[in-house]
Amino acid sequence: LSALPYIGGMFVEWLWGGFSVSNATLNRFYSLHFLLPFVLLVLIIIHLMFLHETGSNNPLGVNSDNYKIIFHNYYTYKDILGFIYLFMFLLLIVYEMPYLLGDPENFIMVNSMVTPVHM
């Protein structure tokens, strides 16, 4: 944020609560971390209330209930099937290609008598 011209430094100082990260900064971010889910929950409830009150968009212009797709059977099974496909793909990666995303340095033998340079 400090890279923003003209206002970046002021914004970072305001966000941090001073010239450096301190206890006040941690308190602010912890409070934000705690309160943000409740704010999102309220916004989701308001959104669902408006959606329930006015109804969803109807791009096909279908007025008859006979042509509408019911939510429970179709979308519930579709979401469960999608979850199963993603879970099976995850299991394929975990069990068939376990070192695919691993770091090559994990295979270097450990020498407990030598301290790494970065320490």
Secondary-structure percent of the chain, ordered helix, strand, coil, rounded to 5: 60, 0, 40
User: What is the Cα–Cα distance from 42 to 49, expressed in whole angstroms?
Assistant: 11
pTM value? 0.45
Distance CA 4, CA 9 (A): 8
What token pair was written down for 71? 């939510």
- Say if CB 68 and CB 62 are below 8 A apart: yes
∠ Cα 92 94 96 (to 5°): 55
* Cα 8 from Cα 14, distance rounded (Å): 10
Per-residue pLDDT of the chain (119 residues), as tens digits, is 667 788 888 888 888 887 888 888 899 889 999 999 999 999 999 998 887 776 666 666 667 667 666 777 888 899 999 999 999 999 999 999 999 988 888 898 888 888 878 77
SS3 category, 104 = helix
Phi–psi pair at 108, nearest 5 degrees: -75, 135
Under 8 Å between Cβ of 8 and 2: yes
